[in-house]
């Protein structure tokens, strides 16, 4: 079975990284939802992709320069607010797995703490989480803090020493841009016991091509197409 992964919820239909978008992804039967997490000025973990506010909200400036109170005054689309990571997890709980992308510096430790609390207080299991990042230092920090939680290596180009880093970090998955994926990469990953979760695949022809290559999961803005 190919995992149906909702990109920032179901952002082809609803404002990305909002509770409305995540609920839409759940309604579509996603096996996993993907989201982006950063820390704001007051330290809370907020779910937003960009470092800046202009593209996805009616605000301006850097996320890290705004307090949670300031961020909560903004419209993230259709009247939605920028959610806290904990709010998203409470919305998702028990309905799908969640792929948390570490976007900002210093996110590894608070994400590890929150995941630990979800496991001890709210019944989440280790396998319900996947923590991924392009920032391999932050990902390595997370791995040391939460060695039992699966991690995924994000990349747009195949990095030098990929399999060496995979072994070091004990990665659960490769999460590559779908355009760079060839059958050889999928086969090599599978030989090492590593899943391949591709992003962001929206066109039916591309979705079919990824399935024929044997990828394990497809992340899409339109997850109902998978």
Q: Among all residues, which ones are annotated catalytic?
A: 7, 49
Separation between Cα atoms, residue 172 and residue 226, nearest integer Å: 22
Separation between Cα atoms, residue 137 and residue 163, nearest integer Å: 16
By CB neighbour count within 10 A (0-12 exposed, 13-18 middle, 19+ buried), where does 109 fall? middle
Residue 43 backbone zone (phi > 0: left; psi -120 to 50: alpha; other: beta) = left
Separation between Cα atoms, residue 144 and residue 146, nearest integer Å: 6
Give the tokens for residue 76: 């993230």
Specify whether the CB–CB gap between 25 and 96 falls below 8 A.
Answer: yes
Specify whether the CB–CB gap between 218 and 206 falls below 8 A.
Answer: no
Specify whether the CB–CB gap between 147 and 139 falls below 8 A.
Answer: no
Give the tokens for residue 92: 């998702």
């Amino acid at each position: 079975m190919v995992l149906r992964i909702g990109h920032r919820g179901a952002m082809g239909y609803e404002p990305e990284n909002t509770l409305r978008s995540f609920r839409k992804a759940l309604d579509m039967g996603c096996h996993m939802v993907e989201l982006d997490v950063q820390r704001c000025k007051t330290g809370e973990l907020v779910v937003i992709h960009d470092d800046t506010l202009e593209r996805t909200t009616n605000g301006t400036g850097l996320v890290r320069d705004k307090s949670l109170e300031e961020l909560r005054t903004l419209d993230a689309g259709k009247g939605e607010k920028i959610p806290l990571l904990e709010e998203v997890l409470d919305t998702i709980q028990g309905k799908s797995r969640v792929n948390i992308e570490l976007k900002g510096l210093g996110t590894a430790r608070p994400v590890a703490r929150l995941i630990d609390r979800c496991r001890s207080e709210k019944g989440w299991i280790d396998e319900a989480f996947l923590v991924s990042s392009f920032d391999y230092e932050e990902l390595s920090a997370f791995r040391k803090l939460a060695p039992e939680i699966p991690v995924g290596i994000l990349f747009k180009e195949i990095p030098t020493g990929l399999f060496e880093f995979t072994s070091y970090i004990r990665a659960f998955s490769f999460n590559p841009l779908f355009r760079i994926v060839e059958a050889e990469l999928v086969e090599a990953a599978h030989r090492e016991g590593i899943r391949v979760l591709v992003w962001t695949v929206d066109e039916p022809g591309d979705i079919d091509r990824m399935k024929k290559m044997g990828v394990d999961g497809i992340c899409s803005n339109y997850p109902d197409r998978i």
